[in-house]
Structure formats: structure tokens, C-alpha cells
Amino acid sequence: MYKIVVTNDDGIHALGIHKLVKSLEGIAEIIVVAPDTERSAEGHRITVREGLTVKQVDFHGMNDVKAWAVNGTPADCVKMALNVILKGRPDLVISGINAGVNLGKDIYYSGTVSAAREAVIYEIPAIAVSYDNHFHKDDFGEVEKLVRPVWEEIKIHDIPVDVLINMNIPHVKADELKGVVVTGLDIHHYRDRIDERPGAFGVPEYWLDREYSELKKIKNNDYHMIKNKYITMTPIHIDSTDYKFIKKMEKWKVIKKNLLAEE
């Protein structure tokens, strides 16, 4: 039977992961392995200086779903799923549904995306799923209805094992959704803002925030399309090497030879 590992960064008790599992009912065997507490914005951090524990837990009373809580990061959870819990390899890993989108450069900070990336490191296809409800984290609307057709189609298509799909869902009703599109990343859809606030003993604290610029929206990329009521899907390759620039670097005087070209 088709087997899917489900994980997230909001924690195993989060509403989003429950919604994800409900949307997958009847499509595959589901194994949930997720952090025991919220681990948002931890990127691809892994635990190496302390031990990890794996505890089987009840998952919202769903008796047909086996679930384990891990005292680690999203990437840790994927490692535990593949090396400790499962016998054999799953067909797919899905991470989410995150409360709040992960667009553009968010993919480098997001624990949701990093869990999917960890699966790809193990050569297992993966999808990271996020929902545009950052300011209403308990409202997932009709997300189950929105994503169900995607799961049914993905099951019949092959995702390359060196690619993860970053998927973002607008906060709209099913009859308002305009469709599903494949997009690029809008890396520049926001800029950092640092807010200085009074801290303890007169030492200032610096809080990270964001500023969004309408002028910098790139049409047809993920930020623009989700704001226009489309589900966005962006394929992200695990190999970040810029092979085109390698050709230019070969002309540098300090470069003696292209080791990649050697047999």
C-alpha cells in the first residue's frame, strides 16, 4: 500500500497536521512522526549534543493512524521516522500543514520546508505544505477540500527523488480558488525590519519583523500568485550548485582545472 510519512514544525498536536492527515484519508497508509512541541523557524537544525526520544501517542483519536512524538526538530523527526520507526521506505513525505505561508526565501528558515528537504536528502520525494493563515492560526477554512485533488494526482505522478515541492495554499473557500499553478520563488517579496525595544536592566532588545513592498512583487511567482487566490507549487532541487557559473569560474587564473569534468 502507498505509504506516506507526515511531519511538521508546529508540533504533533497542532491543528494543521490533523487537517493534513484528514485530507489524506483513504489515499495511503499514514505514519505521523512530528515534534512534541512547536519548532517553527528552526531551519534545518538537527540535534547532535543530546539524545532523542521517540514516544508513540494517540493522534486525535484516529485509531488507524500511528503517531510518534519526537523531542527534536522537524529534520530530526524525518531521521527518526526513516531510521528508527519504519520498516522499509515510504513512498512520500509530507510536511505541514504549516500555520502561515512559506514563500520565497522563507524556504531557508522554515522547519516545515526543512523536514521535506531532509526526506530528499534520503532520496525520498517530499512536499512542504503551508497555509495563508498567519494572523488566524486556528482557521484552516476548507483546506482539506482544497488539497485533496492535489494528493490524488500526486499519487499517479513521479516526483524526482532530488526535488521537494514547496506548496502554499491561499486562505479562500473552495469555490473561490482560481486553480493550482507551478511557480518560481519570489525571493524579494519582503525585507527585514529590526525593531529596537527596551529590555531588562536598560539593555535594548532587537526584534525581527518584516516589511512587504507591493512594488517588488514579481508576477507569476509564489507571492503574487497566492495573493491572487492560487495554490502555488514550486519544485526545489536539493543540489544548489550553479553549474553555469562554474563555466565562468574556470576562466579565473587561480583555477587550474575543473575537477567535475574529470573521469
> For 214-224, how does the pLDDT look when each residue is reduced to its tens digit (9 = 90+)?
655 567 899 99
Beta-carbon contacts of 66 under 8 Å, excluding residues fewer than 6 positions away, are 30, 31, 32, 56, 59
Report yes or no: 213 and 191 within 8 Å, Cβ to Cβ.
Answer: yes
Running DSSP on this structure, what letter comes out for residue 23? H
Beta-carbon contacts of 91 under 8 Å, excluding residues fewer than 6 positions away, are 2, 3, 4, 28, 125
Q: Find cell 504533533 and name the residue.
A: 12
Strand partners, 98: 130
Residue 214 main-chain phi, psi, to 5 deg: -65, -30
Average pLDDT for residues 6-24, to the nearest whole number? 96
Which has the closest alpha carbon to 230: 188, 189, 178, 185? 178
pLDDT at 251 (0 to 100): 87
Percentage of residues in the chain having pLDDT higher than 90: 76
pLDDT at 209 (0 to 100): 87
Q: Can you give the pTM of this predicted structure?
A: 0.91
Residue 262 has pLDDT above 70, yes or no: no
Residue 164 has pLDDT above 90, yes or no: yes
Percentage of residues in the chain having pLDDT higher than 70: 95
Q: Work out whether strand 190-197 and strand 205-212 pair parallel, antiparallel, or are unpaired.
A: antiparallel
pLDDT tens for each residue of 90-129: 999 999 999 999 999 999 999 999 999 999 999 999 999 9
Which has the closest alpha carbon to 154: 14, 16, 24? 24
d(Cα 68, Cα 81) in Å, to the nearest integer? 9
Average pLDDT for residues 24-38, to the nearest whole number? 95
d(Cα 14, Cα 9) in Å, to the nearest integer? 9
Average pLDDT for residues 21-30, to the nearest whole number? 95
